[in-house]
Each structure stands twice: as C-alpha cells, then as structure tokens.
Amino acid sequence: MHNMGNLRDTLQKDNDSEESLISQFETTLTIRPTSNEIDELQDLSIDHTILHNNTINYTRDQSIVDITELEEEEIILEQIPKFKTKRRYSLQPKQAVRKSTSTSPVPKKSTSPNQEPDDSLYRPQHVDSKFEAILKPSVLIDQSLTRFTKAFSDFLNSNPHIQKESPRFVTENDKTLVILSPFSAEHAFGRRWVTKSYLSTIFERPQRLLASCIGVAAAVTMFPFFYKLSNSTKRGSVISSHVCKIHGKNWPKKLFELCLESHEKLNNDDIEVPEDWNTGDIYLTPKTINAIEGVLGTIETAMDSLYGSKNPQENHNLAFVVIRPPGHHSHACLPSGFCLLNNVQIGIQYAYEQYGVTHAAILDIDLHHGDGSQDICWERAGFQGDYGQDEEDEVDPKENPRDEYGKRFATYPKVGYFSLHDIKSYPTELGYATKENIKNASTCIMDHDLNIWNVHLQEWSNEEEFYKHYLTKYVAILNRANQFLNQAKKQYEHEYQTYLNNLSKYNKYLLKPYLYNQAIPKPTPPPPFKPLITISAGFDASEYENPQMQRHGINVPTSFYATITKDIVKLAKIHTNGKVVSFLEGGYSDGALSTGIFSHLIGLNNDEELLWNDTWGTEQVMRELVKGCKKNWLPYKKPQSDISVWANEVIKLGRSMMPNAILPANYVYEYQQPEPAPLNKMVKDIIGSSTAEVSSSPLKKDPEDERKIMRHTRSYYKKMASAQKQQLILEESSKQATPRY
C-alpha cells in the first residue's frame, strides 16, 4: 500500500510546465475544469515547505519561498525555540476589576446549557470606546460561506457526472463536519519595525488557515458528499466557566488586558508581550481578542454539533476544527510555543459541563510534545501542575482541598493524554532541554488517576520501515487510549454496581428504619459513562514541514495522517459511538498543512472502505497545492493533465472558504484609523493640528501631499464646513470616552 518511493522515482524532475506533472495521479472522480475568473495580482509569498527533491533548491525557488527577502548576514536566532523559563508570572490583572463582589465573575460549574457567563466586562463593546473600531472584525469575513457555496456549486455544475458517480451517506450527520473559525485569521504579528528576515521566522501566521482550507478542499474534491463545511462566528468568552476551570480566574483576564494594552505598545514600537515571555514565539494585538473569542466559540460550536441535539440522529460524530493560535503547549497559567489557551482541554471541559462527557482521551500527533495539555492532566488528577493554577487563581479551591502530599480527589472529566512526538524538538529541543522537560515528554503512567503515554518518533528511510515503527511502537498511543477507556468503563460499571448495592440497602432501611443504629444516606449514582476521543492534530511532523521547524529529520509520510486517523476512528467506534473531534494544532509550512489535512480528512471519515491513495501524497501534489497558498495565485489557463485540472479546482474551492486568510506573505497587523471622508490633508491644515493627529501613523504620510496646492473651490468650502462639523463630533465623543482601564 505504501510504496510512494517507487512512484517518486518515476516522476520527472523539477519543472513547472504541465507536461512534467505526474500522469499516475489518481482521482476518485474525473474532474473537469470550471471557468477561471481570477482577478488578483501576482505576489510572492513566504511559505515554509520542505522539498525533498534535490533538484529543487528550497532557498532559490521563488515560486515557493520568497527567500530573496532574507538579509543573509543576519543570524536568525529566533528560529531556535527558547524553552520556557522557570519564572512564574504575575497573573493578577493590573487594573482593579470593576465588578461588584456580590456576583462571582465565574459562574459555578453548571449543567444548565442556558446559563450564560457574566462576561460583560470582557466584551469589546464594554472596554474603552477607542477599541470599538479597533476590535471590529475584518470586513472580508464571509460569515455565511457564500463564496464557498458558490464555488462548490460551480464545481458540481461543471462536473454533472460527479453528482451521479459520487458515493454518499444516507444521512447528513454521517458526514464529517469541518468547522472553520474565520476570526482566527485576525491574530497576526504586529511589530511593524522588525526586519523582513525576522518576519520570515514567524511561523504561526494567519496564512496557515488558507493552507488548511486548501487541504480541506482537496478532500472535498475527492469525496464531495462526505464532508460538510461550516463557519463558526460564535464569540466565546475568556471568562466562561470552562475556560476558567482550565486556566484559573486570573490568567484569561490578564491575557485579555495584554491584548488591549498591545495597541499602545505596538504603536510606540515597543514589545507588546511581557519581558519575560518568549517574544520570539508569542505576539499579541488587540485583534488577538477576536481570534481568541472566535476560537472559543468555534470549540463550543464543535461540541454542540456533536451533542447539541437531543435526537442522536441529528448530531455529527466526526468533526475537524480549523483554529489558531494552537493550544497544546499552553499550561494552565503559562502561554508557550505559540499557544495562548489550551483549546482541546477547554473543549473537553465544555463538553463535560454542557453535555456530561465524563472521560476524554487526547491523541496528540503534533511533532511537539503537548506539555501544556499533559500538565493540565496532572492538575485534573489532583496534583499541582508545573505551571498550574495557584490557590488564588482557582475557581473554587476550598471544594476539594489537597492532602498532605499535595493531592486532591481527581474530578470529572477524567482526561488521558497520549502523544507521539519528536523528543529532540521543542519543548525538549536538543541542546536546550532541561531534565524536567525530557522527563515530562517521556512520562508513561496508567495509575494514580493519571493516564499519560508518550511515544517518540523514530527515523526511517523508506515507508516500509516507517510503518514497521507504526505497528510496533506508535500504535502504543492507541492501545493506551484503549486501555484508559476500557478501565474507565469497568470502573464506572463497578461504581454503578456499588451504587445499586447501596440503593438496595437504603431501600431496606426505608422499609424498616428501626432495625438500624444510624440513618443510611441516600446514595447518588455516578455520572453516566460518556467518553469522547479528541485529536490534537498537528501537521508539523509532516515530511513537508519547514526544516527550521523540523531540524532533526524526524518526520512522518503524508499517508501517516490518514492511517492513524482511520485507526482513531476505529477506536471511537468501540468506545464513543464513533465520536471524534479533532483540533488543529501545529503545522507551519503550506505544504505540511495542505497535504497533512487532506490526508487527515480522508482518515476522519465514516466510511471504512475509504482509503488514502498514495499518489495523493507525492511531492508534485504538494507543490501544486502550495501554489494556491500564495496571495496572488493564478490558475492554469488551460489545465491539461489530471493533476493540474484537479489542483485548479481544489485551490479555487480552498480559497473561497476563508477570504480573510488570503494575505500577503509579509502581512503585519497595523491598526489604521478609518479616516472620516472630509478629513483629508487639505482640510486638516485649515482646521488645525489637533484633528490632524487623528490621521494614521506618521509612517503612512505621503510627502506628495505636503506640496499639493490648495484651491478654494465650492467643494472645498463644502468640505470645510463638513470637517468642522466632524471636528465638533470628535471633540464631543472624546469627552464622553472615559477609559475603563
């Protein structure tokens, strides 16, 4: 099944012409071209894809990497991830929270889905009025997926045979749900003064979403009726109970405040994250708030789609959630390695609070160890986390006090963490890892309320060798997840039996209380066993990841993602009625993301017969998909071969999904105040300097403007009158805007 090597050898050498494209490419459907109406300009983009073929020089192929922007003399120290320091951060919000003490800012754990958290303070509309405009999401966000809907219907209309030939499911809900988070693209690097070479080291960039969408589109073109796409525009809250349970009361608020404060700092060309954070990995802007709230909303949407309907037939079983920033390095109270909040743990907490999910297995297939996810599992088991919540952070520390050994009762939900990763990469980067880091990333324990299993990726020279590792070593994470869920079920059955025994004792007592010395309390049943399987789906272990991200030659073939995902779905059919929810974690090159997600989605499917085809993971396919990740991609005018026809369609579909993620490679967030129409330079000169300050940053000043001759025309006077009116309004509104922070 996996003899990709042979196929590679037969491929023609580097050549962008269509004749060089592989003919062995197999689509499941014959795809005909739709019309090419593309109105975008040429552009070069940074992506971070590895090319194995020696004839393709990664550093010189400008169609792939805009490496000419690199200033070669500059040493890029930031490319070496720094491991976290031991220092604890002050997590107390700086400003006093304007909140009466009568109501707790964090609602008590609630099983009522209708109970809304009191998050009014942390809503953009309730912060300083100047942030209202800043926090307005991009106008390019296509909330109702109209562009995708049209692109998909064009695709079907151009290919009427697909309607007939395509296999499909009986019910809608057998489809795999792909949930996009359009607000995720709002989180972007905002230090505008950095060099271009520094900028090229920013791996966690909004354009990752475009590459992800192209990966989704690749799967959609192969099996058009097996996937359902949805856009989540729900905004969650950083102080909702499921976030605070994981991250404590203080850290989410601190994060929110840092995002707001970043506006001023970035404008002053200062570093916007606290001095002792890893400034190379983590960046913030006010719009990061949009991304975070969007991610939280998307996580909730995903869980709602799995459990929300009382009729199980109306719920989906399989979902892939396309979000960023990623989450698995995030500890309870320490952001780390691009991660601000621990998305998967928050999702599990939400599923517990809203839908009674009692047990969850996290299968983490990212290149890196999910140290944050694991640390939170220690906290859930009742131990103090390495970067866990202090007593003052905790939602309710008194409910369950620690014993003299520092342990408290493990509470629901019980979460197991099972990871396959490279032990030489972050946070155990060779040469930078501490003993503690290495121990954590190698922990294997299935007791003491802990269910943690870590397996390390091995080198391989051909796929046969890789799949030997898979069958002998890597499946351990599946076996241990299986063991965890089996034992959990047995324990539940045991607890339920104990409950039944106690209930019968209680009933006897009720009948003849006089026979008993003391009252028998009414027993409470254990919560019904309801397990879930989650995937921390990182694609940075891909063979096509950037060598700077993946410095040790430890990787996986693209087919791996389909294989392990298929096996995870099998496990879910045994334990969770087939429910699996997968969250995007890492994956930084366009090639790794697009091909990895393509493969992952082929595996994340309800059809056991559906198999990954090895011709889909080749370098030629990857190269075609990567072209579509550049801002100003242009389709082949007359695509001839199967692969170029296919790639055109995939890219068109992918680009239609999240238009606001189609950004130039050197995109840097900078807030530009929308200039009221009458306030042009000419008028501002007349009405005085105070209004001129309202204009955008001095960097944007056009020297030509200064030399323009003023002409006192009729429209000029009209403009001036309107500008004076504007001025009055501005003065009025600045009087009203009393900052709350």
Residues that bind Zn ion (CB under 5 A): 366-368, 538, 540, 586
For 406-423, letters b (16+ CB in 10 Å) and e give eebebbbbbbbbbbbbbb
Report the SS3 class of residue 510. helix
Is 329 known to be catalytic? yes
| Burial class, 735, CB count within 10 angstroms (exposed 0-12 / middle 13-18 / buried 19+) | exposed
Q: Which residues lie below 8 Å from residue 83, measured CB to CB, with a gap of 6+?
A: 426, 427, 429, 432, 433, 434, 437
Contact between 650 and 633 under an 8 Å Cβ cutoff? The reply is: no
For the CB of residue 247, give the shortest distance to Zn ion in the complex, in Å.
Answer: 20
Task: Give first-to-last CA distance, the chain, whole Å.
Answer: 61
Q: Which is nearer to Zn ion, 422 or 463 (CB)?
A: 422
For tokens 């090597």, what's the residue? Answer: 5
Q: Report which secondary-structure segment, H or E, holds 322.
A: strand 318-322
Residue of 242, 328, 329, 331 with catalytic role:
329
Closest CA to 349 of 106, 122, 516: 106
Q: What is the dihedral of CA 599, 605, 607, 613, to 10 degrees?
A: 0
Distance CA(643)–CA(21), nearest Å, equals 7
* Residue type, position 66, single letter: D
DSSP per-residue codes, 399-443 = GS---TTS-----SSEEEEEEEE-TTSTTS-TTT--HHHHHHTT-
Q: Pull the structure tokens for residue 56.
A: 């393709």
Query: Helix/strand/coil (H, E, C) string of 143-193?
Result: CCCHHHHHHHHHHHHHCHHHHHHCCCCCCHHHCEEEEECHHHHHCCCCCCC
DSSP code at position 530: -
CB distance 287 to 182 below 8 Å: no
CA 260 to CA 134: how far, in whole Å?
10
Kindly list the catalytic residues: 329
